Amino acid sequence: SADGYVRGEGAVMFVLKRLRDARADGDRILALIRSSAVNQDGPSSGLTVPNGPAQQEVIRRALAAAEIPPGEIDYLEAHGTGTSLGDPIEMIAMGEVFRERHAPLCVGSVKTNIGHLEATAGVAGALKVILAFQHAEIPPHLHLREPSPRIPWEQLPVRVATRLEPWPRGDHPRRAGVSAFAFNGTNAHVVLEEAPEPEEDAGP
């Protein structure tokens, strides 16, 4: 039932360090960045018409760089602006990347909480994921009353988190992807992983 997006303003700051340096300095480690990828799809058909194949490519590149198969991503923080054309393109792109999963991929977007922070939108989504790691819960995607009829939900291996859900740790650390797509055709995707236990050796 969404028919547009809400603009917002905000700022997020992360302190980034190599894991070994953070441990040596006694820092509190909130999460690991396993990989990131960026691409540019050039001129598009319009402001709210993203490029689906370019979105697929950037997510695949991030997963390959992290050496993580699609089945080991537990949650995906979508760009999810709430537009009638952009959201279906994004969901279909996700469906292509994660189509071999045995269970649907849980997705959501922080924009239902704070609006579209434009240049800060991607890092706001990453902050949401880090908080979800800390609480071991996936927050609900707010205000979803009528799923978009333009998205073929039954054909896609994705589902929207509509209630607060426990996020148990399975046979791998909690992991999530975060997507951010810009007005100018730049696409970014980051693979995040929960902070390791102090005694674990997670490498450099």
pLDDT in tens, 52-109: 999 999 999 999 999 999 999 999 999 988 888 889 999 999 999 999 998 999 999 9
Burial class of 194 by CB neighbour count within 10 A (0 to 12, 13 to 18, 19+): buried
**What is residue 111's predicted lDDT score, i.e. its pLDDT?**
93
Which two three-digit tokens encode residue 96?
């292509």
Per-residue model confidence as pLDDT tens digits over 136-176: 999 999 988 889 999 999 999 999 999 999 999 989 999 99
The angle at the Cα of 106, spanning 171 to 74, to the nearest 5 degrees, equals 25
